[in-house]
Amino acid sequence: MTRSPSTLSRDGSRRAGPNRGLGARGWLVLAALLLGLGVAFAARPADAIERKPLNTAILATVRVIVPVADEPDAYSTGSGTVLDDQAGLILTNYHVMGDVENQTPYNREGLAAIAVTPPDLRGNAVLRYWARMVKEDPALDLALLQIVAPFEDAEAPLPQDLGLVPVPIGDSQALQFGDELNIIGFPGVGGSSVTFTAGLVAGFADEDNDGYAEWIKTDAEINRGNSGGLAANAAGEFVGIPTQARTDIGAINLIRDGNLALEFARDASMDEGSAQMPQDPDAPFVAQVTFAKAVDAAGNPQGAGVRFPSGTDVLYAVFDYGNFREGDSFEYIWRQDGFQLYRDKVVWRFGREGSTWVNVFKDGGLDDGYYELEMRLDGERLFQDGVVIGEAAPPGTGTFGPITFAAGVSDDGQPLDPGTVFSGVKEVFAFFTGEKMTNGAVWSRKWYLDDELVAEKEAVWNGGESEEMWVSIVAKERLPEGRYRLELFVEGELVQSGSFDVVAPGEVSQEPEPVLVVGRIVEAGRRRRGVEGATVFFLNPGVTVDEFLDDPREEGVYASGISDEEGYYQLDRKLVPGSSFSVVVFHKQYKLIGVDDFQIDPEALSPHEVNITMERR
Amino acid sequence: MSALLDALRRPSITNEPPTAKEQWRNDMAVLLVALVALLLGWSIRNAVVDARSQFSLGPDLPALEYPRSWLQQGKEGLIFQAIDPASASTFDARLSVAVQEGVEEQALEMAEMTWPLQRSKEFQWFRHLSTRPVTGPDDRPALLVEYAYVADPTRASGGNGLPVVVRAQDLLFLASEGPDARLVAVTVAADAGEWDEHADQFQAIFQSLGVKEGAQ
Amino acid sequence: MQDVQRASQAAWRPPPGRVAQDRRGLWVASMLELLGLVLFVGLFNFLLPNLGQRLDGLPLILLGLAMSLVPAALWMLFFHRLDRLEPEPKGKIVHVFLLSALATGALVQPLLQHLFQVNEWLYASWATELFGGILVVGALQALTIYLVVRYGIYMDPEFDERVDGVIYATAAGLGLATVLNFEYVVAHGGVDLDVGSIRMVINALAYASFAGVLGYFLGQTRFEHTPPAYLPGGFALSAVLIGLFFFLEDRITSAGFQVNSWSGLVFALVVAGITLSLVFWLVQRANEETLRLLRDASAAVPGPGEAVAPQESPAQNPPEVDP
C-alpha cells in the first residue's frame, strides 16, 4: 500500500501507455479472432434430408444366416428384406435357406438367424432374432421367413415392438430402361456391414415367354451375399430381389421382379383358417394335422392326402402342437368306422411346442374304411377328424347350400356380422350346409383373390347328411384388399361358390404409417459423450410435463425408452407422424428435460431420429 | 424510486464509520436473515426429498411409502411396481409387491427354503446371497432374502444395451392368519453398481413398513 | 500519507477524503476481464476445439483444473496492472481469494451436497429451483462471501476505501467460483473443453458481479452509519441475484432438446456488465457525495487543509438516528 511520493504524484494522469488497455495491435488481433468466429459459425455440415428414403431402405435390409444341419461350422448367408415389421415377415431367396435342386432346407426346422443394421447405419449388423421359413417356392427361388424368437433366448417371448423397419413398396412394372436401381445387401462372407451398390436397369427377361418379365437385368454388381436382399428404385422403394450374379455374359445381373415376389409373399400370408372355435391364445392346440403314408427322417409327411389306397399298412398323422405343458397327459385314439382301433396315453415331455406324429398300423394292411383320429390333452379334446382308406362310399349327389360370409363366428357356430364387403379384417368366415352328403366323401374348397388361387384344402366329409359348417380364410395381419371367391368341390366337382370383397378402411386411409423413434442422448459438449441410463418418456396426449412431474403414473406415459452406454435409445412403441407429445427425460446426474408439445415431423419416415442433449448438473 | 436510490447511495451523511455496537447489529442482522433463509430452504428441501407416495398393502398393514418422483407401473403378476426413472443405469431402481393367496401357516418357514429356488426359475444367472430373519410390519416375523441376477432392460424397446447385474432384496411376511393367509413379498431392486446410491431410499421404504433388524 | 492512531478498531477511520477514491483501475480491470473471458471461451471453442478429444483421464482433469483458475487469474492480472494509484497489496487480495476458496470447498459445498442434498431436490421443478436457489444456495454463498470479507479483511487497515468492499468481495466471489469450477471438473472426470470453458466463465462472471454488489454494501457500512436494514438488505439482494441468475440461466440454456451454451454466455455477459456498471456508478455517486460533503464541511470551517473528523453534522440533512 505504501508507495514513494514520486509515484503518488503520477496520480490523476490518464495518459495512454502500454498498460492502458489493449492497444492498437491488441484490437487488431481481437478483430481477427472475431472474424474467425464468424467463419466457424458459417461452416456447418449439410443436412442429410435427401438421403432419408434410402436410409429406410438400408435399414429394411437384414442379414440372413442359416445354420446347416450336421455341419456345425457351415452356414449359408444372404440378405433379406423386411416386408412386415409387426408380423416380422422377411422375404429372401430360397437358395439362401436351402438347396434349390433337392428342394430341401439346410436345416430341418427351416431356421435362420437374422442380423439387423444398427440405426446409425454404421457398423456391422447385429444378431437379433431367429426366424423360421413359413412359405417357400423353390421354382421361383423365393422364401418367406417369419421371426419367432429373440436370438439370445429361443424360448423367450418376442418384444411387442420388434424394432424393425419395413421396406416401402414400389411398382416394379413401372421401371424402364436406364432407371436407377440400388442394390442393398450383405455381400461379404465374413463379418460385414450393409453395402449399397448403385446401378441402372439394363433390361428385362421373360423366361417363359408369357408376356410378363420375371427378371430385371441390371449392370449393378450383385455378389453372392446380396441374394435375397433388396433392389430399390430411386425413391428407396422395393422393386425386386437380387438373385443371380451371372458372370459369363459380362456384368449383367438378375433381379427377381418385385411384383412377382410380392404376390408370392401375399399368397403365403393367407391361409385356411382352422375350422375350430376361436380359442384362448394360451390354450394348448394342435394344428396342421396332415395324414400321410410315411414320414421322412426329418418328420415331414410323405404322400399326404385324405384318401389312401386299400392295403395301406400304416397311417401317420403329422401335426404341430403348441402351449403343451410338461407333465400333461396326452391321449390319442384311432377309430375305424366308429370303432376304437388303438389308443395310447403318454405323459407329455416333448416341449411346449413343436411338430410330431402318431400312427396306426396293421400287418397285412389296414382295412378299408373311414379312419378317425382323436387327440386329447388332459382330457380336453384338441382334434378329431379322419381320412379314408380304400374306396369311398359310392359318390352321392351331395352338394352344398349357398355360402354366407361373415366377419366372425358366435359360440354356437352362427355367423356374426354377415355381409359381402369387409374391411380391416384379419379373417373372413364362410358358412354353408351340406346337402345329401355322405361320410367319407372327399370335398375340397378353393379360395381365390382376384382370380388367383391363394389357399385350398381337401377334407373328408364326416358331418352326416346335412351339417352346417364353416371354414375361414385368415391372414397374418390383415386380409389384402380385393375380390375373393370361394369354390366348394365334392369329389372334384364344383358344386357351390360365393364371393366377397375386402376394401380399404375409409377412415385410416389418410393416416401415415407410425414410425419407429430412435435417437442418441449425449452430453453437451464437442465430444458428445453418450449418456447411459437416461429414461425418455413420451407422454399421452393431454398430459403436460408439470402434471406428469407432479404425479408420475404409468397411465401418463405413451412410449418410453432407456439409453444404452453409447446413449442410443429406442422407444418401445411407434409414433404417428404429425402428432404432438410432451416429453420428459430423466437422469440423476443431468438436468431434467421437459418439453411440452413436441411434434413428430409429419413427413417422418421410419426410423425417425430425435436426438437429445443433456446438461450436467 | 429516487428515494430508494437515495437511500442506497447515501445511507448516512455523517461520513462517520459505525460504532462497534452498530457493527455488531449489522452482523447479527445479516446472520439472522441468512438463518431465516436457510430454514425456509430446509423446509422446501424436506417437502421435496421426503415427499412420499403411498400404496396400501391391505387392511391391517401399514401403507407402503415410496418417493413421490417414482413412476408407478402396472406389471403382470405383481400387484404394484414403481420405478425411479432418474436412475443412472439402464435398469431403473424399482419397488414391487407380489402376493400369494391362500398359503399355509408354515408358509414363511417353507419360504426360507423354497423362495430362492422359486426366484431362480424367474431370473437369469440367479445367485442367492443371504437370507436372514427380520421383524416385519406390526412386529410380524419376516424374512429378508438378498440375491442377484442378470437382467436385460433394453430388450423390450429393441435396444442394444448391455445386460445388467441386478441386486435385490425381498421382504417376505404373512399378511394374515388362517385360511386367508397371504404371503406378501416386497421387493427392492437396483443395478448392483448403483445399489449404494439407492440404499437410503430402500431403507426408507422398509422403514415405512416398520421393518426392524433382528428377529422378534 | 497520514500517521494514524488507532485506539480501537471501531474508532479508527481513515480521513473521509480518502474513503472516496474511485479506483478507476478496478473498473477497467473488470471490463477487460469480461473481454478476456470471452477470448478464453473463444480459444477453447474455436481454436483448440479438438484438444479435448485427444486428452482423457488425468491429463484432461489437470487441464480442467488449470482452466478453472483462469478467470480469477485473469481478473487479478488485469487489476494488478491497472491498479496504479495506491495499489491494494496483492497479498491481501490473494489472501481473501484463498480464504473464500477454502471456505467454499471445506464448508459450503459439503453443506450443500450432504446436509441440504441439493442434487436430490433442487431440479425437481421450477419452483424448487428458483426458491431453493435463492434460499439455500444463494443465501449460503452470499453468507460465505460476507463472512470471508467481514472477518478476513474488513477491520484491516488496508480496507480504507469504500471501493475496497467491492474489490475484496469480488476476490472472494472469484474464489468461490473457482472452487465450483474445480468441483465440476473433478466430479465429471474431466470436462468437455468447449462447454466447460463456457460454464466456468459464466460462474466467474456471476459470482464476481454479485459478490461485488454485496461488497458495495459492505464498503458503505464500513464507513457510514447505515439503517439497520441496509446491510441485511444488501445481503438478501445478492442472495436473490445469485438464485435468480442461475434459474434464468438454466431456462435459457436448456431450450428443448438442445443445450444453448452460447445464449447462456451472452446472458451472463450482459448481466455481469450491467451489474458491474451499476456498482461502479453507485460507488462513484457515493464517493461524489462524500467529497461534496467534505468540501462543504471544509468550506464552512477554515483551517488546515485536512479535516480530521467533522465535529458537527452539516446543516442540510438531519443526522441519522441510531436505533
Q: Is the pLDDT of residue B52 over 70?
A: yes
| C49·A613 Cβ contact <8 A | no
Residue-level pLDDT at C300: 65
Residue C304 is assigned to a structural domain of this protein = no
Separation in Å, CA of C320 to nearest CA in chain A: 33
- Work out how many CB contacts closer than 8 A connect A with C: 87
Separation in Å, CA of B16 to nearest CA in chain C: 5
Query: Which among C42, C125, C191 has the least Cβ separation from residue A37?
Result: C42
Q: Is the pLDDT of residue C238 over 90?
A: yes
Percent of chain A past pLDDT 70, that is, above it, reads 83
Instruction: Say yes or no: A547 contacts chain B, CB-CB below 8 A.
Output: no
On whether the CB atoms of residues A436 and A398 are closer than 8 A, the answer is yes
Q: Is the pLDDT of residue C214 over 90?
A: yes
Q: Is the pLDDT of residue C25 over 70?
A: no
Q: Is the pLDDT of residue A552 over 90?
A: no
On whether the CB atoms of residues C139 and B41 are closer than 8 A, the answer is yes
**Which of A435-449, C38-52, C76-90 has the lowest average pLDDT?**
C76-90
Q: How many domains is chain C built from?
A: 1
Q: Is the pLDDT of residue C309 over 50?
A: no
Residue-level pLDDT at C313: 42
Q: Is the pLDDT of residue A25 over 70?
A: no
Residue C93 is assigned to a structural domain of this protein = yes
Q: Residue A158's closest chain B neighbor by CA?
A: B156
CA angle at residue A381 from A379 to A384, to 5 degrees? 140
Overall average pLDDT of the C113-118 stretch? 88
Query: Which among B68, B90, B160 has the least Cβ separation from residue A126?
Result: B160
Separation in Å, CA of C302 to nearest CA in chain A: 26
pLDDT tens-digit profile of A136-163? 888 888 999 999 988 877 777 777 778 8
Output B160 or A36, whichever has higher pLDDT. Answer: B160
* Most confident region among A16-30, A276-290, C260-274 by mean pLDDT: C260-274
Chain-centre distance for alpha carbon A450: 24
Candidates C224, C238, C247, partner chain B, best to mutate (most B CBs within 10 A): C224
Task: Give the pLDDT band of residue C301 (cuts 50, 70, 90).
Answer: low
**Grid cell locating A439:** 361320410
Query: pTM of the full predicted structure?
Result: 0.62
Residue-level pLDDT at A245: 61
| A595·C257 Cβ contact <8 A | yes
Q: Which residues of A398-425 are buried (b: 16+ CB within 10 A; e: fewer)?
A: bbbeebbbbbebeeeeebeeeeeebbeb
**Which of A527-541, A584-598, C255-269, C280-294 has the lowest average pLDDT?**
C280-294
Q: Is the pLDDT of residue C267 over 70?
A: yes
**CA B211 to CA A574: how far, in whole Å?**
43
Query: Which among A161, A568, A587 has the least Cβ separation from residue B160?
Result: A568
A269 sits in which H/E element: none
Q: At what angle do helices C230-253 and C139-152 cross, to 10 degrees?
A: 130
Output C39 or C192, whichever has higher pLDDT. Answer: C39
Show the domain range for C32: 17-294
Q: How far is CA A350 from CA A52, A214, A292, A327, B35, in A?
A: 48, 44, 22, 10, 74
**CA A160 to CA A562: how far, in whole Å?**
16
On whether the CB atoms of residues A391 and A310 are closer than 8 A, the answer is yes
Q: Residue A589's closest chain B neighbor by CA?
A: B88
On whether the CB atoms of residues C167 and C26 are closer than 8 A, the answer is yes
Query: Which among B13, B31, B41 has the least Cβ separation from residue C313?
Result: B13
CA dihedral A417, A419, A425, A431 (to 10 degrees): 80
Residue-level pLDDT at A555: 84
**Grid cell locating A557:** 406415459
Diameter of chain A measured on Cα atoms: 139
* Most confident region among A349-353, A390-394, B44-48 by mean pLDDT: B44-48
Separation in Å, CA of B81 to nearest CA in chain A: 10
Task: Give the pLDDT band of residue A192 (cuts 50, 70, 90).
Answer: low
Q: Is the pLDDT of residue A52 over 80?
A: no
Q: Is the pLDDT of residue A5 over 80?
A: no
CA nearest neighbour of C271 among C193, C171, C204: C204
Overall average pLDDT of the C238-242 stretch? 96
Q: Is A446 helix (H, G, I), strand (E, B) or coil?
A: strand
User: What value does the mean pLDDT of chain B take?
Assistant: 85
Q: Is B53 helix (H, G, I), strand (E, B) or coil?
A: strand
Output C82 or A70, whichever has higher pLDDT. Answer: A70
Separation in Å, CA of A249 to nearest CA in chain B: 44
- DSSP character at residue A515: B
pLDDT tens-digit profile of A264-288? 887 655 666 654 444 566 778 888 8
**Grid cell locating A267:** 399368397
Residue-level pLDDT at A45: 35
**CA B154 to CA A565: how far, in whole Å?**
11
Task: Give the pLDDT band of residue C91 (cuts 50, 70, 90).
Answer: confident
User: What value does the mean pLDDT of chain A take?
Assistant: 80
pLDDT tens-digit profile of B108-151? 888 888 888 888 888 889 998 888 889 988 888 899 999 999 99
| Rg (chain A; Cα; Å) | 33
On whether the CB atoms of residues A310 and A329 are closer than 8 A, the answer is no
Output B18 or B146, whichever has higher pLDDT. Answer: B146
Subunits with 3+ C-beta pairs closer than 8 A to C: A, B
Residue C3 is assigned to a structural domain of this protein = no
Percent of chain B past pLDDT 70, that is, above it, reads 89
Separation in Å, CA of B136 to nearest CA in chain C: 29
Question: How many other C-beta atoms lie within 10 A of the C-beta of residue A277?
Answer: 10
| B42·C139 Cβ contact <8 A | no
Residue C6 is assigned to a structural domain of this protein = no
A213 sits in which H/E element: none
Residue C158 is assigned to a structural domain of this protein = yes
Query: Which among A36, A546, A612 has the least Cβ separation from residue C46?
Result: A36
CATH 3.40.1000.10 is right for the domain spanning B52-208: yes
In chain A, residues with a C-beta closer than 8 Å to the C-beta of B196 are: none
pLDDT tens-digit profile of B170-201? 999 988 776 778 889 999 999 999 999 899 89
Subunits with 3+ C-beta pairs closer than 8 A to A: B, C
On whether the CB atoms of residues A355 and A319 are closer than 8 A, the answer is yes
User: What value does the mean pLDDT of chain C take?
Assistant: 79
Separation in Å, CA of C185 to nearest CA in chain B: 19
Residue-level pLDDT at B97: 93
Q: What is the DSSP string of C265-279?
A: HHHHHHHHHHHHHHH
Residue C31 is assigned to a structural domain of this protein = yes
Q: Is the pLDDT of residue A117 over 50?
A: yes
Percent of chain A past pLDDT 90, that is, above it, reads 8
Residue-level pLDDT at A583: 93
| C194·A2 Cβ contact <8 A | no
Chain-centre distance for alpha carbon B186: 12
Residue C10 is assigned to a structural domain of this protein = no
On whether the CB atoms of residues A53 and A168 are closer than 8 A, the answer is yes
Domain boundaries, chain B: 2-48, 52-208
**CA B133 to CA B148: how far, in whole Å?**
19
In chain A, residues with a C-beta closer than 8 Å to the C-beta of B152 are: 152
Q: 14-33 in C: which are within 8 Å (CB) of A?
A: 28, 32
pLDDT tens-digit profile of A333-386? 998 877 888 888 888 888 888 888 998 888 888 888 888 888 988 888 888 888
Q: Residue B19's closest chain C neighbor by CA?
A: C10
Domains and CATH numbers, chain A: 48-268 (2.40.10.120), 285-389 (2.60.40.1930), 399-507 (2.60.40.10), 513-614 (2.60.40.10)
In chain A, residues with a C-beta closer than 8 Å to the C-beta of B155 are: 150, 159
Query: Which among B69, B70, B161 has the least Cβ separation from residue A564?
Result: B161
Residue-level pLDDT at A14: 39
Overall average pLDDT of the A119-134 stretch? 81
Separation in Å, CA of B53 to nearest CA in chain A: 9
Residue-level pLDDT at C43: 81
| A595·C253 Cβ contact <8 A | no
On whether the CB atoms of residues A585 and A592 are closer than 8 A, the answer is yes
Residue-level pLDDT at A32: 56
Q: Is the pLDDT of residue A417 over 50?
A: yes
Task: Give the pLDDT band of residue B12 (cuts 50, 70, 90).
Answer: low
Q: 80-139 in B: which are within 8 Å (CB) of C?
A: none
**CA C239 to CA A299: how far, in whole Å?**
82
Q: What is the DSSP string of A157-201?
A: PPPSS----PPPB--GGG--TT-EEEEEE---SSS---EEEEEEE
Residue C300 is assigned to a structural domain of this protein = no
In chain A, residues with a C-beta closer than 8 Å to the C-beta of C125 are: 546, 549
In chain C, residues with a C-beta closer than 8 Å to the C-beta of A40 are: 46
